[in-house]
């Protein structure tokens, strides 16, 4: 490497190694679009199928060829008699020729079926790219929410550690003044040690979730903005399971691709039948042959010959060893297979949509229940603290209430993320997930 480029490369490496600033969901989604290998693979597949479809058009268009050649000819007759000259005549001349040929298919049903199948495959590639884009939306959102949920859990564990530490200090003071037994202190110490272990596990979970997001977006320490999800839960639109299933059967990319598979198989079956039909082409050619600088013992050879032809060529396959008939049987069996695959895909898509629909409904109910549990746990903790201060509750009651409250807070935080993600997955199952849905979630982000 050029020595003058080393400082620049080192500086770029330092920039890429620096932690990223916190950004919103759409920022990291755009970063993943530019980095994700699966999405780039789908883009390349679309480009390949676009080119393949364009190749199939060539079978319906005229083909034109030109050929040019040149040669030199020397010939002579050697007589048998000793008294004759060494050669009765000699020839030495050059020949150049050029031919322009064109063929226009007039009736080639096999080529037409190939073109139609290629156009269907072009549509399939576009569906695959759409599927890859939707899948990337879910993966980025999942990784984004995983980081936030793990950070929330760590926050709650640390808050619980602080509360337990305060309770431990209180128990120690009470023991020193003789108003509490050593049991309270040991219970608080045991709970404090347990929370420390939970903190270590939570810190590791944050690191693991952070690495997953980094790998997805191609940046180091991709920090997500926080989300305010308290007002993010409205009613589903549409509201019924049957409407979501109907959307799935009409718009899900996997179902549409399976239907295109059936159509492609139909074209292949038609192409196999067309192989036993005659083909008709229009053929035209024009050529010129020129004898140059020719000479012989008797005369000089020089001249030009021009030929032009226009006609029709009919080809009829008579026998190909039975290959054409077997090809028809093969394509018919493949058509039956794609039809069965379509039924399986529709049933699987319907089941996935129903599962996703009830996951959203369950998630919404769980969020409401956990919100109520959070309020109840807070009230219970306040009551136990008051009871402990007046001597009607013991230390373990307060510790248990604290654990219950912070555990409920962590579960509520994750349930909120899960229900938003489940809604996006429901739209993915129905085939209607779009960037606008991500932008709707993104509006809930806070720097």
- pLDDT, one tens digit per residue, over 302-336 is 678 888 999 998 988 888 888 888 989 999 999 99
Q: How confident is the model over 410-446, as pLDDT tens digits? A: 999 899 999 999 999 999 999 999 999 899 888 887 7
Q: How confident is the model over 159-204, as pLDDT tens digits? A: 989 888 888 888 888 788 877 778 888 988 998 999 999 999 999 9
- Is 91:265 a contact under the CB 8 Å cutoff? no
Rounded to the nearest 5°, which phi and psi values hold at 181? -90, 170
Q: End-to-end alpha-carbon separation of the chain, Å?
A: 42
Q: What is the pTM of this model?
A: 0.78
Q: How far apart are CA 4 and CA 290, in angstroms?
A: 63
Q: How far apart are CA 276 and CA 269, in angstroms?
A: 12
Q: Where in the chain is the domain with CATH 1.20.1600.10?
A: 22-61+108-278+323-446
Beta strands (DSSP E) in 45-155 are 63-76, 90-107
Class of domain 65-107+279-315 as given by CATH: mainly beta
Rounded to the nearest 5°, which phi and psi values hold at 305? -120, 125
SS3 282: strand
Q: How far apart are CA 189 and CA 344, in angstroms?
A: 58
Q: How far apart are CA 228 and CA 438, in angstroms?
A: 15
229-242 average pLDDT score: 77
Alpha-helix runs per DSSP H in 5-66? 6-17, 25-35, 37-57
Q: How far apart are CA 413 and CA 417, in angstroms?
A: 7
Q: What confidence score (pLDDT) does residue 20 get?
A: 54
Average of per-residue pLDDT values in the chain = 85
Q: Are strands 445-446 and 279-296 parallel, antiparallel or unpaired?
A: unpaired
In 3D space, the residue among 266, 271, 381 whose CA is nearest the CA of residue 324 turns out to be 271
Based on C-alpha coordinates, what's the Rg of the chain? 40
Chain centre distance of CA 275? 37
Q: How far apart are CA 200 and CA 198, in angstroms?
A: 5
Q: What confidence score (pLDDT) does residue 223 get?
A: 86
Q: What confidence score (pLDDT) does residue 2 get?
A: 42
- Is 397:384 a contact under the CB 8 Å cutoff? yes
Tokens of 100: 């322009």
- Is 20:223 a contact under the CB 8 Å cutoff? yes
- pLDDT(89) > 60: no
Q: Where in the chain is the domain with CATH 2.20.200?
A: 65-107+279-315
The residues, ordered by sequence, that sit 6+ positions from 426 with a Cβ below 8 Å of its Cβ are 236, 244, 353, 356, 357, 359, 360
Task: Give the CATH H-level superfamily of domain 22-61+108-278+323-446.
Answer: Outer membrane efflux proteins (OEP) (1.20.1600.10)
Q: How confident is the model over 2-55, as pLDDT tens digits? A: 444 434 333 334 334 444 567 888 999 999 999 999 899 889 988 988 888 888
220-239 average pLDDT score: 78
């Amino acid at each position: 490497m050029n020595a003058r480029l080393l400082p620049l490369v080192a500086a770029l490496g330092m920039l890429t190694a620096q932690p990223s600033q916190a950004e919103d969901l759409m920022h990291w989604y755009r970063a993943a679009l530019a980095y994700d290998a699966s999405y780039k693979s789908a883009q390349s597949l679309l480009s390949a199928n676009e080119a393949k479809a364009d190749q199939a058009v060539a079978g319906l268009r005229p083909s034109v060829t030109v050929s040019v050649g040149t040669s030199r000819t020397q010939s002579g007759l050697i007589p048998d008699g000793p008294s004759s000259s060494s050669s009765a005549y000699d020839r030495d001349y050059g020949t150049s020729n050029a031919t322009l040929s064109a063929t226009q298919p007039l009736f080639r049903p096999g080529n037409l079926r190939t073109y139609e199948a290629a156009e269907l495959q072009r549509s399939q590639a576009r569906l695959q790219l759409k599927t890859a884009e939707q899948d990337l939306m879910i993966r980025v959102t999942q990784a984004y929410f995983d980081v936030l949920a793990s950070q929330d859990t760590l926050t709650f564990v640390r808050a619980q550690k602080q509360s337990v530490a305060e309770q431990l200090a209180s128990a120690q003071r009470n023991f020193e003044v003789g108003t509490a037994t050593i049991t309270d202190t040991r219970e608080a110490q045991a709970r404090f040690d347990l929370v420390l272990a939970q903190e270590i596990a939570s810190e590791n979970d944050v690191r693991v979730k952070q690495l997953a997001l980094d790998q997805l977006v191609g940046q180091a320490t991709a920090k997500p903005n926080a989300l305010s999800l308290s007002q993010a839960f409205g009613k589903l639109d549409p509201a019924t399971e049957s409407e979501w299933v109907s959307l799935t059967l009409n718009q899900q990319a996997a179902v549409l691709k399976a239907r295109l598979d059936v159509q492609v198989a139909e074209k292949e079956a038609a192409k196999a039948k067309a192989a036993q039909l005659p083909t008709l082409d229009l053929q035209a050619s024009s050529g010129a042959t020129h004898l140059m600088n020719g000479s012989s013992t008797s005369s000089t050879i020089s001249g030009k010959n021009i030929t032009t032809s226009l006609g029709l060529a009919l080809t009829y396959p008579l026998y190909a060893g039975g290959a054409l008939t077997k090809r028809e049987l093969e394509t018919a069996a493949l058509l039956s297979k794609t039809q069965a695959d379509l039924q399986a895909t529709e049933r699987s898509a319907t089941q996935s949509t129903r599962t996703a629909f009830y996951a959203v409904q369950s998630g919404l109910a769980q969020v409401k229940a956990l919100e109520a549990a959070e309020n109840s746990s807070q009230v219970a903790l306040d009551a136990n603290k008051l009871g402990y201060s007046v001597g009607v509750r013991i230390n373990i009651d307060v510790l248990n209430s604290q654990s219950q409250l912070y555990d409920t807070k962590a579960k509520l935080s994750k349930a909120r993320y899960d229900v938003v993600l489940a809604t996006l997955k429901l739209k993915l199952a129905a085939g209607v997930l779009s960037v606008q849905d991500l932008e709707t979630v993104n509006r809930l982000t806070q720097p």
